[in-house]
Structure 1
Amino acid sequence: MIKTVSIILPAHNEADYIDACARALLNSDALPEGWQAQVIVVANGCTDNTADRAISHATAAEARGWGWQVVDLDQGSKPGALNAGDAAATGQVLVYLDADVTVSSALLPQLIEQLSGDDAAYGSGSPHVSPAQSWITRTYGRFWVTLPFVTDGCPGFGIFAMNRAGRDRWGDWPQIISDDTFARLNFTSAERVRVTAEYHWPLVEGFRSLVRVRRRQNDGVAQIAELFPALTTNDDKAEIGLSGLIRRTLRHPIGFLVYATVASAVKSPLYKSTSDWARGR
């Protein structure tokens, strides 16, 4: 029996990124025997040509024998885009991919291998931060990538996946800020797997954007704790500890200074976060 992996790709004004994302995805290694791919790009609330750019990759997908569908929604809502993607998805494995992420060729096959069982399971790859343009983002990123949340476990930012048994744990995606945190916390640490294949994920550019997005991330975690308190028992995020902080600071003193300044500025009312889907580029 042929099985399907469904890749759901929400995209809101991602015309500058969607081509690289699509090309990397279509350059994936051969899928495990007996598997086929279905890609669903959900262009939601776009005011640029994201949908047209996505449609332009349909021929390349067809040449690989992959399904390629573009859903164009009027409203810019990531939970809405995820729900629309789920409604069209037929796969036994579901992969949720941000449009500004580029995957390595081995990532998709490795996720399928790990998530093809009957028991509920969740997976992601090994994240690498894409080269930044601004000095402030590059410096922040050098310290940030050393944190246990990034180096260990299965954080899932940018791309996460699960099998049907895992996705059946909830109905529609709720109207929340942090979909990746919500998805991850629906699984215990024993049910989550991090594969070795890499993916590249960009940090936002500039101090104000870093602060705004960091604050929004904090708001997203707090929102889930308030609305779904039972899920917090699945949070296994490792603490950095004093000795770990000292080691990292000695290795990246300027990076720590920038990171700490951003973390401090998050508390300022000058950098408001919003409930809509915006990366603050």
Structure 2
Amino acid sequence: MTALSVIIPASNEAGYIGRCLQALHRQDLDPRRVGGAEILIAANACRDATVAEAEAERAGLEAAGWRLIVMDLPEPGKLNALNHAEGRASGRVLVYLDADVICEPPLMRLLVEALDIGAARYASGQLKVAPPRSRVTRHFARVWTRLPFMTTNVQGAGLFAVNRAGRSRWGGFPDIIADDGYVRLMFAPEERIKVDAAYHWPLVEGFSQLVKVRRRQDAGVRQLEARYPAIMANESKPPMTPGDHLRLFLQTPLSYTVYVLVMLAVKSGRSGTRDWTRGR
């Protein structure tokens, strides 16, 4: 068994996955010193150069001591990709990483240090929103990153990790929308760790795409509440109080207005989408 398995489901991630892997190459974790580290890419139904971009990073990663496994799966779907990759993962620590996320150099080392223990634990890093290109997304992100949930919790959007004791709490990934929320809620708040290193996660660009993705996220939460009510006892998301709204408005009135307009549009309709196509 190796120390670390990084599992990356990838669906049409050309232009992103190369930078994601280059950031892993720059990690200050030495795979040989910790007992081995591997990256498993589960490319699923890709119609672009995702697989070729991943293979282009093989020589550099292997020279740095990483083992790279690239699976070119014909079946679409993130959950299917996760289950395939897990079937080949050998790590004591399992990191689930989106293909468009950039990890800062200390992150993998700190995740291994936090999770390579006997007790079941969940961990993530400090989520930083990658610099948005659109003004709407820039204003939305300015408020979203200051919400109580973002400042007080271990989030896991784009990157979460568990150890083998934690992974034993569920079987294969079920057919759900919110895989990250499902895993996070398998752990009590005191079992979740936020390590002191950042990763950069992109928000979708523009008003309509923000509404689409936020509706899907809300649908994912409702699905978890309906199908897995027992795990909702582990939710630690603090409510937004009137004081929180006033504070955010006073800090950044224009950004707060954009955020409220997006959320009002989200609440005005519901999305039944279940696919994993990114809203780029």
TM-score tier, shorter chain, comes to over 0.9
State whether structure 2 residue 13 is matched by structure 1 residue 14: yes
Asked if the contact 1:213/1:273 (under 8 Å) is kept, the reply is no
Distance 1:272 1:237 in 2: 23
Asked if the contact 1:8/1:86 (under 8 Å) is kept, the reply is yes
- CA displacement 1:8-51 (0-9 Å, x = unmatched): 00110110211111101111002484332110011011111101
* Aligned-residue offset at 1:273: 4.7
Distance 2:238 2:106 in 1: 27
| Matched residue, 1:210 | 210
CA gap of 1:242–1:268, structure 2 versus 1, over 3 A, is closer
Distance 2:157 2:272 in 1: 18
Distance 1:245 1:31 in 2: 45
Show structure 1 runs of 5+ residues with no match.
none
| Matched residue, 1:224 | 224
State whether structure 2 residue 274 is matched by structure 1 residue 275: yes
One-letter code aligned to 1:252: T
Show structure 2 runs of 5+ residues with no match.
none
- CA displacement 1:142-175 (0-9 Å, x = unmatched): 1111012222220100000000000011110000
Asked if the contact 1:54/1:70 (under 8 Å) is kept, the reply is yes
Asked if the contact 1:41/1:71 (under 8 Å) is kept, the reply is yes
| Matched residue, 2:159 | 159
Distance 2:217 2:35 in 1: 35
* Aligned-residue offset at 1:106: 0.4
TM-score, reference length from structure 1: 0.96
Q: How does 1:230-249 map to 2 (within 5 A)?
A: 230-249=230-249
Q: How does 1:101-180 map to 2 (within 5 A)?
A: 101-180=101-180
One-letter code aligned to 1:77: G
- CA displacement 1:232-265 (0-9 Å, x = unmatched): 0000012231112211110111111111111111
* Aligned-residue offset at 1:138: 0.6
Distance 2:162 2:154 in 1: 12
One-letter code aligned to 1:131: P
Asked if the contact 2:219/2:271 (under 8 Å) is kept, the reply is no
One-letter code aligned to 1:272: S
- CA displacement 1:74-130 (0-9 Å, x = unmatched): 122010011011001001000000001000000000000000110100000001000
Secondary structure of 2:211 counterpart: helix
Asked if the contact 2:2/2:90 (under 8 Å) is kept, the reply is no
Secondary structure of 1:13 counterpart: coil
Asked if the contact 1:111/1:195 (under 8 Å) is kept, the reply is yes
Secondary structure of 2:87 counterpart: helix
One-letter code aligned to 2:19: A
Secondary structure of 2:43 counterpart: strand
Distance 1:102 1:35 in 2: 24
Distance 2:178 2:79 in 1: 9
One-letter code aligned to 2:11: H
Secondary structure of 2:14 counterpart: coil
Distance 1:68 1:243 in 2: 49
Q: How does 1:27-106 map to 2 (within 5 A)?
A: 27-31=26-30, 33-106=33-106
Secondary structure of 1:54 counterpart: helix
Asked if the contact 1:6/1:38 (under 8 Å) is kept, the reply is yes
| Matched residue, 1:185 | 185
Secondary structure of 1:237 counterpart: coil
CA RMSD of aligned residues (A): 1.3
Distance 1:17 1:224 in 2: 29
List structure 1 segments (4+ residues) > 6 angstroms apart after TM superposition: none
Asked if the contact 1:120/1:163 (under 8 Å) is kept, the reply is yes
Secondary structure of 1:83 counterpart: helix
Asked if the contact 1:31/1:108 (under 8 Å) is kept, the reply is no
Identity of aligned residues (%): 45
